Amino acid sequence: MLLLRYKRVSNAVKKGRDIMMKALTIAAAFGAASLSAMSLAHADSQTYDFSGFTEIDASAGVDVEVTVGGAYSVRAEGEPEALERLRIERDGSALEIGRTRNSSFFSPGRKWRVTVYVTTPELNGVDVSSGADVKAEGIDAGDFSASVSSGADAVLSGRCGTIKADGSSGADLDAENLRCENAVADVSSGADLILYASESLEADASSGGDITVYGSPKNTNIDKSSGGGVSIR
């Protein structure tokens, strides 16, 4: 009799706990959806009229997503305060994306976040610095240059003949999915480069910088110093 009562109480407690966990899960999901909806509701969008560029220069903590192929288009999304301080200019063949001089990407809060969406028929290089993030897809180039510095991040995909890449000051470049025949790489000061080269590699790594190369290049010329590292896979 006592065992039966214990089982009934135990089952009731377990059932109550399960109901509470389901309620908490639903509440958390509803809260996340509400926050996402609020973010979308307060985000603004602004378009820009630029063409003729083949390179992207990003800085000052902006996020840039690049699609290669199709007509030129440039669109930014973010809070009104962030868009007011966004700076987009064309300088020769480069589209420069950053912030105005009187603003800083170190400003706290979601309202300073901004994402710039770029479409270009051709992309031959990226220069990413000062905490900016760039993601570029669909690259199809003969020669391609990639430079990352000062805590910036870049992720590249597509194909190229030769990539020239350099990284410094804790920046990261992930170009494993940018399938190139040849690579020339220079890294220092704790930066990380991930590349793909099927034919040849020239690499110089120093001061704690690391280079990882996929594709098992046939010809290599490697120089390492001051804690720099080069790995071929």
The reported pLDDT for the residue numbered 86 is 97
* CATH domain 44-232 topology: Pectate Lyase C-like (2.160.20)
Q: Among 108-112, 121-125, 135-139, 191-195, where is mean pLDDT lowest?
A: 108-112
Rounding to the nearest 10 degrees, give the CA dihedral for residues 85, 150, 176, 115. Answer: -10
- Across the range 22-30, mean pLDDT stands at 43
Taking the C-alpha atoms of residue 11 and residue 13, their distance in angstroms, rounded to an integer, is 5
Give the percent of the chain with pLDDT over 70.
Answer: 78
* Helix or strand holding residue 54 (H, E): none
Give the confidence band of 25 by pLDDT, cuts at 50, 70, 90: very low
Continuous H helices in the chain: 2-42, 80-84
41-78 pLDDT, tens digit each: 467 999 999 999 999 999 999 999 999 999 999 999 99
Burial of 202 (0-12, 13-18, 19+ CB in 10 A): middle
Taking the C-alpha atoms of residue 105 and residue 114, their distance in angstroms, rounded to an integer, is 10
- Sorted by where each begins, the domain ranges of the chain are 1-42, 44-232
The reported pLDDT for the residue numbered 113 is 87
Nearest to 121, CA basis, from 77, 200, 181, 66: 66
- Across the range 28-38, mean pLDDT stands at 40
Contacts of 34 (CB under 8 A, 6+ apart): none
